[in-house]
Structure 1
Amino acid sequence: RSCLVCLASFCGAHLEPHRRAPAFRAHRLVAPLRRLEEGLCPRHLQPLDGFCRAEQTCVCARCRAHEHRAHDVVPLEREREHKEAQQAKFLSDVENELEELAVTIAQAKKMVELIKGAATKERERVEKLFAEASEVLATFQKEVAGFIEDGERSMLGEAEADLRWKEERRAKLAQCKQNLENVPSNDTVYFLQEFQALKVAMEENLSSAPSFQNELNFTKCTQAVSAVKGVLSAACKNQWDHLQGKGIDGLNYQEMEEGLKDQANRQGIRAGRAGGISSRFPPHPHVSLPHTVAFIVDLDSDTADKFIQLFGTKGAKRVMCPIPYPESPTRFINCEQVLGVNLMNRGNYYWEVELIDGWVSIGVVAEDFNPRESYNRGRLGRNEKSCCLQWNGQNYVTWFGGFESVIQQPFFHTIGVFLEYSEKALTFYGVKDSKMTCLQQLKVSHFAKGQFDPFQNKINHQFASLFLFKLKPAFFLESVDAHLQIGPLKKDCVSVLKRR
């Protein structure tokens, strides 16, 4: 039996004192309880002998008489039978949940590894770039210090020569003056000789006076370094805002360019120095660009597939675990794609994309494209309402209408996209160090005699019809580690496109 006062269970032999001794007569004995404390009401220290269905908890007799007197309370055995009848289905649900958790845990572990790997790669790339930037600054610092030393040495030599010349002239004049003053008053010949000597000394140059420049040209270094510091600080701030999704999206390129020029003028930088940057672009005949626009691309979260995570309006990364985006009629559901917000329907547009990792496709899509198309038809370039440039880890490939064209070019971290709506042309550039390499232009063109290209044939027959619609920038993150960033526009690239 179990004693509710002693809170202990006893065998028959040890239970005798409770039966015989007067001191134990007030102790309440009940059927043996395996876990005595758990079988007692923590409030009333009485056996739990009922189950309250209203609050789904075990209760004692005093609980039934007070707190739970208006509740549906049943015996424990009856509630157990009720629960055992549900046990099989409940355990099956638990088993399914365990299996799903096992799968999602595996995915989460993979995602953790992907994040760690991507962060490690990004950290290494950033550290390398910072090291290169530090080398550039160190080289500039060394050149400026050398310029100061050369200027000091050159101008100091001129200043010291000028000092010697003046000291020699002063010494000779002082000597001639003293000789004239020391001539005896009765020595007329000596007086005339010394007077003439002093006059000649006043009129002659002991040596040619050096052409000493009053301006210390090496003091311009402060102005130059201050200008570099200002530009660097502004660039760091702009890029940091860009990383945080702020950027300068509210400005068009002309306003950006004017702002940079104003800042440069305030810091004493000659605007003409920008012309010293060498830009080499591929020839691009038969194109007139009177209205080139530096296009600001913002990613549209209402179009992003659930396996794409957006970072502000500029970054997109493929993820393993779906993101609970709200329902949207414009959201892709079968392809890991996302569109830009703004439409393009006239003029010329240029934007740049940074390929950070994985397989990424960049292109344009018609405004009325159905985002619920199947995977085979819904991917960029696999239909007649979109086209793209794809990086598949080994090559660049252009796609349109299900036809492809492989491009033999090295990998470029930055891709420039130039859409000429009125010309019905789309050009993809590889951009590096403000130099642009034309990867491929999609445009109707005639075949050379004796040549036939299925991809160009598809372009010739159906590409122009794509421009019957308003177009949007489009991005396809194909591999599980795909990651892209809408890049800041490179000033030299847009300037050259505007001049063409």
Structure 2
Amino acid sequence: MASAISLLSEEQFLCSICLDVFTDPVTIPCGHNFCKSCITEHWDTNDQHQCPLCKEQYEKIPHLRVNTFISEMAAQFKQSVSRETITSTIGSSSEEQHTDPGEVLCDFCTDTKLRALKSCLDCLISYCEAHLEPHQRIPALKRHMLINPVKNLESRVCKKHNRPLEQFCRTDKICMCFFCSELEHKLHHIVSLKEEYEERKAELGKTEAEVQRMIQERELKIEQIKQSVTLSREDADRETATSVEVFTALMQSVERSLAQVIDMIDEKHKQTEELAEGLIKELEEEIFELIKRNTELEQLSCNEDHLHFLQNNLSLKAPPPTKDWTKVKVHSLYDGILKTNLAELRETLSKDTKTPCADGQLKKYRQHSVDVTLDPETAHPKLILSADGKQVHHQDTSRGMEDSPQRISSFFGVLGNEGFSSGKFYYEVQVKGKTDWILGVAEETINRTGVSHFCPQNGFWTISLKDGREYKALAEAEPIQLSLKSKPEKVGVFVDYKRGLVYFYDADNSALIFAFTGYDFTEKLYPIFNPRKNNDGKNATPLIICPVDNSD
């Protein structure tokens, strides 16, 4: 084949339009051959569809298919010309050059292999600077595709057609040559390797950016968790100190109470001893008089002289007075001492535990008090708000209010004017005189027009009173029944946004009612108030937002 190609001239493989060696040659009906791109561009720029050589005209553009025989002959001619030209231009440029392992070497160097400057996808050969010169000078070789030097050029060539892999089939997701796209993959979605590369690289960039974003999110979450651990450590230290203070006070109270009980028992025992000593002394005196009397009687009884006996008997003194000792007892004086002291101790402990713990904590929370007012734009049509925005109650008839996306219509609720997305805040609401209510905080995006249960999953952190006796925390799974020692008249609500906490307090007694903990707030939180239905006047008392006294 090589000898046959050598007999052919370069002109026999030139396109008559571009005057260069054929690239993807096609044969039109008259028998002449052209580069596919050349004849297509020629017909696109001319009104008449005719052969550039013989001028034969066609009514419509013929269907063009690559002439594989001429294409392969042209490709082999390119390689033959390239080898001959390179061989003739090798001269004194074979200067010895050291290369590093892994570098691509020139395939045409015979003695010392020089470092390749480019690789040709048409010739499937890598060239050093000297051997690359023909590709920069000869027109036919200038059209070859040159890339930075790479190894294994055979992997970049179609094994079936011996052509460069320069196209991509998106249907089968494989790389292919031009002949493959015109034959086996003709009806598939074909694009150039460059187009597929740019598109996939752009997608890769987006994926990389998304991965970086996810990494940053997780790094931020790690910092948040570490911060939470730090805050937890601080809270633990503070609670430990408070607990030590409380239990020290408890032990001191117990010790004081024990000492008081022992002293009281000793005093009672001393009183018993004194009482017993008095009774014994009195009994001993009566015994002495009775013995004396008994002696006189014995002497008289031994006298057998009738006259003397009668004279002495008549002169006997009256017996000494004595007490009826049958009902005299020494009673125990300890009954009720322990019970009374335990009651006093319980009261003392209650005071000692309340003051440094719950009361002190609430005082700290009150330092974060905010001025809450009601937002009339969110109020249910059957709710009446006071002019100062501090009170709300329910009435049976609706007001003439315009509908708006902000207005709550699915329950008798109203939100506060201001929302909070950071920090801590606290407010108090008077509930005295009401039999039903719901209080707490809610997310900005709660369902305001449809049915929605009050629970954290739906954006509500609230507690409620029903029928004047049932207190509940409206949690996720089901409401939690609350057992309160006293009926709160004023409820304090504290929120720590960063730590995900919502606390409810009996503000007058500094007693914790319920705590929602461990939540991850992501939206603005608004105070929410639901006075519930007035129930024929039984629940007509309004909810009242009270000023917070944080002067302590």
TM-score tier, shorter chain, comes to: 0.3 to 0.5
Which structure's relative contact order is higher, taking Cα pairs within 8 Å and 6+ residues apart? 1
Bigger Rg over Cα? 2
Scaled by the length of structure 2, what TM-score is found?
A: 0.32
Question: When the two structures are superposed, what TM-score results if normalisation uses the length of structure 1?
Answer: 0.35
